[in-house]
Every structure is written in C-alpha cells, then in structure tokens.
C-alpha cells in the first residue's frame, strides 16, 4: 500500500458585506471573504492538500481563477471534483487535518456542521475530518481582520 501526505494553505481577504463561507457552511457575519469563487478558504486548502498528496498540482491548476466558468462557484463543487480526480487515479482519502486562523467570527461552534458538510461532499466518514480553529492573537493580516488563513494536511492511500 502506498501512503502519501500533502499540505495545503490558502488565504482570502475579508470584505464588508461579502458572504462568508467556510467548510461549505454560510456564516452570519458582517465581513465575508473575497475571491473568484465563493472564497471558501477552508475547502480551497483541503483541495490543495489532497491534490498535493496525489502529486496533481494545485487547485489553481485545475480550476483557474481566470476562467469565467468558476466565477462565484460553490467550492463544494470544486472539492467533489478534486475527490473524483484523485479517486480516478486510484487514491483514497485517509484523513484531513485543518487549522482555520481567524479572529472573528468564532469558528468552534460551527465545526460539527462543517465536518458533516465536508464528509458528505467528500464521501468519507466525519471522523476522517479534523477541524481546529485559532486566532493570530491580533497580529498580522488575520489579527487585523483583513483576511483569514487555513492550513491543511491530507493523507491518501493507494492499494
């Protein structure tokens, strides 16, 4: 059995009046994330981790932010496509472990809903998805609430 690990990282700027999507769940918050798609920074980092583990480049390679067909797209669609790409190549997800870095809103109360949503999209067990949240202690662009960041690690296997 082959085992591989991939790392993903993504950031998005925050903007007043924008929608905030994290892990496929819409948050009620005054500031959302800005991007070509729905700017779901968590899903984007997960996609990069899985694609990286499979040695299949990154989310921008597969879904270019210059391509109008992805303008405003629901990132859950991109994640489902990533899962199909890696499964078609014979890989299966072992687990993902993610850290969401944001000052506000509070993420922890939403983690169970995000895990359920991601598990459905990825067709995996909820326990295969680990989500954690932290702040940057008011330092840097996250601390100033100019954006959010996510670090993700994925383990994949091939029989």
Listed by start position, the domains of the chain span: 2-158
Question: Does 157 appear as a known binding residue?
Answer: no
Query: Which pLDDT band, with edges at 50, 70 and 90, does 147 fall under?
Result: very high
Q: Does the pLDDT of residue 108 top 90, yes or no?
A: yes
Q: What pLDDT was estimated at residue 40?
A: 98
Q: What pLDDT was estimated at residue 56?
A: 98
Residue-wise DSSP of 63-78: S-TT-GGGTT--HHHH
Per-residue pLDDT tens for 10-29?
Answer: 999 999 999 999 999 999 99
Per-residue pLDDT tens for 42-94?
Answer: 999 999 999 999 999 999 999 999 999 999 999 999 999 999 999 999 999 99
Question: Does 64 appear as a known binding residue?
Answer: yes
Q: What is the CATH number of domain 2-158?
A: 3.30.1330.50
Question: Does 135 appear as a known binding residue?
Answer: yes
Which residue spans within the chain are E strands per DSSP? 2-16, 20-22, 25-27, 31-34, 92-101, 129-134, 147-158
Question: Does 36 appear as a known binding residue?
Answer: yes
Query: Which pLDDT band, with edges at 50, 70 and 90, does 113 fall under?
Result: very high
Mean confidence (pLDDT) of the chain: 97
Question: Does 97 appear as a known binding residue?
Answer: no
Q: What does the pLDDT average to over 136-152? A: 96
Q: What pLDDT was estimated at residue 159?
A: 80
Question: Does 110 appear as a known binding residue?
Answer: no
Question: Does 144 appear as a known binding residue?
Answer: yes
Question: Does 12 appear as a known binding residue?
Answer: yes
Q: Which two tokens stand for residue 118?
A: 């991601």
Query: Which pLDDT band, with edges at 50, 70 and 90, does 96 fall under?
Result: very high
DSSP-based three-state secondary structure for 56? coil
């Amino acid at each position: 059995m082959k085992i591989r690990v991939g790392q993903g990282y993504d950031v998005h700027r925050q903007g007043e009046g924008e929608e905030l999507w994290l892990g496929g769940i819409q948050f009620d918050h005054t500031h959302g994330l800005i991007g070509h798609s729905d700017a779901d920074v968590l899903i984007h980092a997960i996609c990069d981790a899985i694609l990286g583990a499979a040695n299949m480049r990154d989310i921008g390679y597969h879904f270019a932010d210059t391509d109008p067909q992805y303008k405003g797209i629901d990132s859950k669609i991109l994640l489902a496509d990533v899962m199909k790409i890696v499964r078609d190549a014979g890989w299966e997800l072992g687990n993902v472990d993610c850290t969401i870095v944001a000052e506000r809103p509070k993420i922890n109360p939403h983690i169970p809903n995000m895990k359920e949503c991601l598990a459905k999209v990825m067709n995996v067990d909820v326990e295969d998805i680990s989500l954690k949240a932290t702040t940057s202690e008011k330092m840097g662009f996250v601390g100033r609430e100019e954006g959010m960041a996510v670090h993700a690690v994925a383990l994949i296997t091939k029989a």
